[in-house]
Structure 1
Amino acid sequence: MGFLWPSALLLLLLLPLLVFWYRRSLTPPAASAVLHPDLATLARASEKRRDFAHHLPAVLFLLALILGIVALARPIIPILHADPRTTIVLALDVSRSMRATDVLPSRFEAAREALKVFIRELPQGARIGLVTFSRAATEVVAPTTNRQRLLDSVELIGLEFGTAIGEGILTSLQALPPLEQRKDAKDPSELATIILLTDGRSISGIDPLEAARIAAEQKVRIHTIGVGRVTEGPVPGLESVYQWAAYFDEDVLKQIAAITGGKYFFVNSAGKLRETYQQLSQSFVWKVKQDEVSSIVTLGAGIFLLGSLILSQLRRQVA
């Protein structure tokens, strides 16, 4: 934490004088001392004065003063922000083979939960879009900063037939800001990223490598995630008709990442999938912005002051 007006904190040096004055006001002057015949009553009165509750209004008032002085110094805290042009499109394979349970509870459920974690943990400021692809690609959510809308949409995704990775890339490209809006950046690809997850091979649409070359021309980076397995064989949780499409082409995913300057990840468990998305969330370029929090501190001071006034009034009524 820092302060825009740190010199205001010098006012805190006056607080010990205020505490001294308060404690002195509780001690009656020597001239007022008298002999008291009822010693039991005197003892009870002394205990009452020593009771912490008796001093609570003053303590709350002191805390209000401290927070008020801190607010006057205009405190600031560092918060991660993204360049407002930063856009990330999550491209998700929704083919039927994603029902396989070699990744528990299933490839699809593990991917959906990992996406939710990524959306929640990504620092504020970046826009996130969602594209799904099976035999065709669909822009489910245009890039937005509304995280709840994204989370709700992820929850509603269903599975379809087929896999068209290239179409998923092209549809994701259409959702990203054009190169003209990013060309003044040191690295335009840092402001436009696709994170593509698939568990199968492309069987329709444009060739994925051709789509990757188009993305590279537009300075768009693609990170690829292959989930499941890379070899043929029985896959739990799938009917026999889908077994042949339940493994992905690792070489193609590696090439897509290489062509666009991205990274390739192989995932075979739900935990590893979450770690992959968390790692990717930290790979973007974030700026530390100093945000002023004077209003929050002032609110705290007001709450303490109100509490002090209420307790003081209650004491007067009881007395």
Structure 2
Amino acid sequence: MEFVNPYLFWILLVPFVLFAFLISTNKERLSRIFDEKVLTRLTASSEGMPLRLRNIIMFAAIFFMIVALARPVKELEDKVVKVQGLTLLTALDISGSMRSKDVYPNRLAFAKKKMNEFFDAMPSDEIGVVAFAYSPFVLAPFTSDKETLKMMVKGVDDSYINMGSTDFLALGELASSLLEKKNPKILVLFTDGGDEKAIAGFADVLKANKIDLYVVLVGTEKGAPVIDENGKPIMQKDGTIAISQRNDTLGLLAKENGGAYVIAGPGKEDIENLAAVIKGKYKEQQQGEVRVKQRVEYFYYPLGLGLFLLLIGLSSFPRFKSQKKASGKDGGKK
């Protein structure tokens, strides 16, 4: 048997022993400290029960209550619980091309909307969120609280957008670190794509770490001008407007490695279909194991005994012999 709160036992035991000693051995000195009425209640009267016995019962009651406060328990073996669901890492593209307005209101806002739809389609799964462009960073750790995830994604606005080139290699290294102890390892990108040169090292990192890739592509094949932070089109060196088109190379990479991709549309069917594919592929796999500590509580035994003794100690029992003698005397007088 063990105590959950052993410190309470030792903290309360010392004043209890001191108090019991003073009550039992030094009533006169104690009466100088406590009010007479308080002292009378603490020691109780001797009516129907010897004072010493009543005090012993009261002290025993207090002792058992202290033991109950310390919470005695019997520790059992931990119970291993299999947790259903998957752990997924989602990544939001915040590169400069995500300001393009070939989808309403722009690619970034549209990708955020699709992420929220994906969260709704995976209600019981743990999802983490990172943002990536030149340097990736964690927006939200793995959690099954989808409302918190939506709130974190909502906070990503145009000020997050990085006009530098997208570093997919850095994204792959961050994803491999975050998914290191996960099984299976799933990465879902929300992006307007990347060319073969940009994702060459990214593919190697995914294969080396056995990360399954799924991609949600936003934007159109026709494309739209790349816009700066002031809302103006960016000009190229030759004086023409820079145009950003959706690049499906990432989607093809995902498909080649056992994953899948969808081109984001105005409805929810695309995201629902992607979620169905992911759930279908990993339906036999668990999210992991959770160890739950098991114990048997025993505090109610000393608590019940303490309350019972307290009831006895505060009760008064009539003296039957005295009553009989008194009644005999009264009868004699008659």
CA distance in 2, matches of 1:131, 1:109: 16
What's the counterpart of residue 276 of structure 1? 270
CA distance in 2, matches of 1:236, 1:99: 6
Give the Å deviation of 1:106.
2.0
The correspondence for 1:264, drawn from 234, 256, 261, is 261
CA distance in 1, matches of 2:141, 2:259: 22
What's the counterpart of residue 83 of structure 1? 84
Contact in 2 for aligned 1:220/1:260 (Cα 8 Å): no
What's the counterpart of residue 292 of structure 1? none
Distance change in 2, residues 1:232/1:151 (3 Å): closer
The secondary structure found in structure 1 opposite 2:234 is helix
Distance change in 2, residues 1:164/1:266 (3 Å): same
TM-score normalised by L of structure 2: 0.50
TM-score normalised by L of structure 1: 0.52
- Whichever residue aligns with residue 246 of structure 1, its letter is S
Give the Å deviation of 1:150.
0.8
CA distance in 1, matches of 2:121, 2:224: 36
Aligned CA RMSD, in angstroms, stands at 3.2
| 1:107-146 → structure 2 map (5 Å cutoff) | 107-124=107-124, 126-146=125-145
1:218-276 Cα offsets, whole Å, 9 max, x none, are 221101222113456657996321753622432x3144213431113233x433xx332
CA distance in 2, matches of 1:111, 1:93: 8
What's the counterpart of residue 99 of structure 1? 99
Contact in 1 for aligned 2:220/2:245 (Cα 8 Å): yes
The secondary structure found in structure 1 opposite 2:254 is helix
Say how many residue pairs are matched. Answer: 191
1:25-70 Cα offsets, whole Å, 9 max, x none, are xxxxxxxxxxxxxxxxxxxxxxxxxxxxxxxxxxxxxxxxxxxxxx
Contact in 2 for aligned 1:224/1:256 (Cα 8 Å): no
What's the counterpart of residue 198 of structure 1? 191
CA distance in 1, matches of 2:224, 2:151: 35
The secondary structure found in structure 1 opposite 2:105 is coil
| 1:227-246 → structure 2 map (5 Å cutoff) | 227-230=218-221, 234=225, 239-241=232-234, 244=242, 246=244
Distance change in 2, residues 1:207/1:107 (3 Å): closer
Give the structure with the higher percent helix.
1
- Whichever residue aligns with residue 266 of structure 2, its letter is A
1:124-174 Cα offsets, whole Å, 9 max, x none, are 1x2101011121111111212222221110111133223223322332222
The correspondence for 1:219, drawn from 203, 210, 222, is 210
| 1:21-36 → structure 2 map (5 Å cutoff) | none
Distance change in 2, residues 1:209/1:147 (3 Å): same
The secondary structure found in structure 2 opposite 1:194 is strand
| 1:140-219 → structure 2 map (5 Å cutoff) | 140-158=139-157, 159-161=160-162, 162=164, 163-178=166-181, 182=183, 191-201=184-194, 207-219=198-210
The secondary structure found in structure 2 opposite 1:282 is helix
Distance change in 2, residues 1:235/1:199 (3 Å): same
Contact in 2 for aligned 1:213/1:259 (Cα 8 Å): no
CA distance in 2, matches of 1:202, 1:139: 24
Structure 2 gaps, min length 5: 1-81, 236-240, 286-334
Distance change in 2, residues 1:263/1:121 (3 Å): closer
CA distance in 1, matches of 2:176, 2:137: 12
